[in-house]
Amino acid sequence: MKVHKEGRRILFVTLLVLLALNLLVFNFNKGADLVNRLFAGATVIIFLLILQFFRSPFRHLFTHEDLLLAPADGKVVVIENVFEPEYFEDERKQISIFMSPINVHVTRNPISGLVKYFKYHPGNYLVAWHPKSSTQNERTTVVVESDAGPLVLFRQIAGAMARRIVWYVNEGDEVSQGEEFGFIKFGSRVDVFVPIDAEVKVELGQKVKGGETVICQLKL
């Protein structure tokens, strides 16, 4: 287990602020040992909660050209055929994973291939499970031409708490399955769009692990 690079600055600043607050409280309540201990305990809990959010656990990654891996930790909340208007402009199968604040928030490439399209969209911060969050919230869209042939679209979506999306890919990049393509801070969602004939390997409500759980199989 390690701390993700996106959290190091936040954790350092948080630690300094909490230490300063503890010094102030102890200074103004020199005789109130119980209050001081309770406050110190509360700040430790706050720091640990933020620390766990930025954890980056080791994952046993594997690659296979026709299998899509979960792009993030979380729960499968959508499996349905939808019209995808941004890139394909036709019907695709959508698989969506909701990431709660206690999930690991590293986002990973679901498949290896060439990035054919990338776009960042500023937007709103509706709750991540809202049907319109996929098209109205702050988000990124990545389309990869997989090594297997079919194009796969995946989208980071900011939620009500997530106010910053980070990405590490650009058009023309070669990406490897399971490697990090970004990070979403404080809870959100990732949508994946695959061809209609792809075989889904997960169920609604199932918990998945980014880079490990197979979510569907492409038809070659």
Q: Tokens for 52?
A: 């766990």
Residue 90 is predicted with a pLDDT of 94
> CA 104, 140, 8, 39 torsion: positive or negative?
negative
Catalytically active residues are 188
Give the dihedral of Cα atoms 153, 169, 114, 217; nearest 10 deg: -40
For residues 165 and 133, which has the higher predicted lDDT (pLDDT)?
165
Q: For residue 86, is pLDDT > 80? A: yes
Which tokens in the block code for residue 106?
Answer: 């590293």
Give the model's pLDDT for residue 106.
Answer: 87
* pLDDT reading at 130 higher than 60: no
How does pLDDT run across 151-203, given as a tens digit for each residue? Answer: 999 999 886 555 578 889 999 999 999 898 888 876 688 999 999 999 999 99
Residue with the larger pLDDT of the pair 68 and 5: 68
pLDDT of 28: 82
Confidence of residue 124 (pLDDT cuts 50, 70, 90): low
| Cβ partners under 8 Å of residue 108, min gap 6 | 69, 70, 71, 72, 178, 179, 180, 181, 210, 211
Contact partners, residue 215, CB within 8 Å, separation at least 6: 68, 69, 70, 76, 95, 110, 192, 200, 201, 202, 208
Residue 108: Cβ-neighbour burial (10 angstroms; 0-12, 13-18, 19+): buried
Asked if 180 and 107 count as a contact pair (C-beta separation under 8 A), the reply is yes
Asked if residue 39 has pLDDT above 80, the reply is yes
Q: How confident is the model at residue 160, as a pLDDT? A: 59
Say how far apart CA 165 and CA 171 lie, in whole Å: 17
